[in-house]
Amino acid sequence: MAQIGSLLANQPQKSKEWQKDQDDIERSRAKIANALKDAKERSKKNINLGDDIDTKFNQLQVFGIKLMDMLRESGVDQRYDWLELTERMCQLLEPLAIASPFTSASEERNIRQKDLLYRQREMMELTLLIGRKLLFEGKHHQAVPAAIQSLKFSIDVHGLNSVNLVPSYLILAEANIGLGKLTQADEYLAQAEWTVMKSPDAKDSVRSKLFRNMGLLHAAKGDYDNALRMLSEDIYHASTEWNSNHIRTSGGYFHMANVFFRQNKMDIADSLYTQVVNIWYEYLCDAVDMKTAMEEEANAFGPVLAQTGPKRFLDQTQEAEAIQTLSAVLDMRDQSPKRQPAAISKICLTLAMLFYILDDINKAKDYGRKASQNKDQNESSDQQHSFLRLLDKRQ
């Protein structure tokens, strides 16, 4: 009875929070709908298309409109993280800067040219982010048009042979691997590899992503030896760019573990999955400590610090990757005939910390409870106990 009373007491608070979230989402939807309507009306008018700047801006608007319509049709407008991205795109569809009346024609053109280039760069980055996020959420079909738009903007900004086109090629390759279109994926990867080989100054981060995608393609073909060779190159370049225990390197270990899993080499796969979880666990422990300290400081100093806004510990692509990777490892642990409660507890605790820093307290508590149900009392650390106590205090 006491538990029921506690749940009922918390219900009004949860209801208020839920309603606030819904109101925020509805306001964003209305803002996006109005911006989209205005952009569509402007693009239909096709004013001054003899001017190459207006022509390119009109193309930018058309690409942006198509992408936003596609995102809405795929249902992502039900979530605030996607609405945030879409609002950023809306700002890029607003009319180009207007020069002052006293500006010469050449100066006016220069102002508009710079504004257009800025928007093309921003749209290039935004469509890349959208494409990656869709991939990690398993929406391969929707990732293709986002990556195609990103490739077009990259060509506008950097030209046809720039290494900056490689990230778009890689998203297109990975999306086609996910769709089972391996020949198409092979073509995109060949283009990406040629571009990287022609660019000796290509960063290790770019080479890491190239080899990762090549590994995924070989794995999809069932060529596991070459898949492991490519993923080893991925890990080498990621470790060179960051380090061997960085969250950006963990994806290589995860995909390598998947290959060993398919080969039924369970001991090696298990070891690599454990390494992936440990990397995220260590990172998220630090993030939780930082977030808790920042909240305590904000409570102490009040609205002065609150004005700076919340700190993001992961970008949106990393958030999607963390959720996808850790959830996949948990599913495999849960379904394994050799149940490992301590390992399951650590994954659940890692997911609880992840959702805590993403401010999804309900999910954090759900995973926290599952971590408690599976934990070994003899192996639990003070840090684990303190985090679970912290979750218990949250509404």
The per-residue pLDDT of the chain, averaged, comes to: 84
d(CA 71, CA 66): 9
- Tens digit of pLDDT for each residue in 305-361? 444 445 678 988 899 899 999 999 999 999 888 888 889 999 999 999 999 999 888
End of a domain among 139, 158, 177?
158
Q: Is residue 299 part of a domain?
A: yes
Does residue 154 sit in the same domain as residue 24? yes
* Distance in angstroms between the alpha carbons of the first and the last residue of the chain: 20
Residue 7 has pLDDT above 60, yes or no: no
- Tens digit of pLDDT for each residue in 190-210? 999 999 999 888 899 999 999
Whether residue 391 contacts residue 368, with contact meaning beta carbons closer than 8 Å, is answered with yes
Q: Is residue 360 part of a domain?
A: yes
Residue 129 has pLDDT above 80, yes or no: yes
- Average pLDDT for 35-48: 66
Q: Is residue 197 part of a domain?
A: no
Whether residue 153 contacts residue 131, with contact meaning beta carbons closer than 8 Å, is answered with no
The domain tally of the chain equals 2
Does residue 275 sit in the same domain as residue 153? no
Residue 165 DSSP class: G
Q: Is residue 85 part of a domain?
A: yes
Using pLDDT thresholds of 50, 70 and 90, give the confidence band for residue 6.
very low
pTM, to two decimals: 0.81
End of a domain among 143, 158, 173?
158
**84 vs 219: which has the higher pLDDT:** 219
Of the candidates 81, 71, 68, 80, the residue with the CA atom closest to the CA atom of residue 35: 68
Give residues with Cβ within 8 angstroms of 391, minimum separation 6: 352, 356, 361, 364, 365, 368
In the chain, % of residues over pLDDT 90 = 50
Whether residue 342 contacts residue 381, with contact meaning beta carbons closer than 8 Å, is answered with no
Which structural domain, as residue segments, surrounds residue 379?
Answer: 265-305+312-395
Residue 299 DSSP class: H
Q: Is residue 206 part of a domain?
A: no
d(CA 240, CA 208): 9
Q: Is residue 365 part of a domain?
A: yes
Using pLDDT thresholds of 50, 70 and 90, give the confidence band for residue 257.
very high
End of a domain among 121, 143, 158?
158
Residue 375 has pLDDT above 60, yes or no: yes
pLDDT value for 4? 39
Give residues with Cβ within 8 angstroms of 148, minimum separation 6: 168, 172
Q: Is residue 183 part of a domain?
A: no
Does residue 150 sit in the same domain as residue 276? no
Does residue 271 sit in the same domain as residue 386? yes
- Average pLDDT for 165-171: 95
Does residue 147 sit in the same domain as residue 272? no
The crossing angle, in degrees rounded to 10, of helices 80-92 and 316-335 is 150
Q: Is residue 238 part of a domain?
A: no
Q: Which CATH number covers residue 353?
A: 1.25.40
Using pLDDT thresholds of 50, 70 and 90, give the confidence band for residue 16.
low
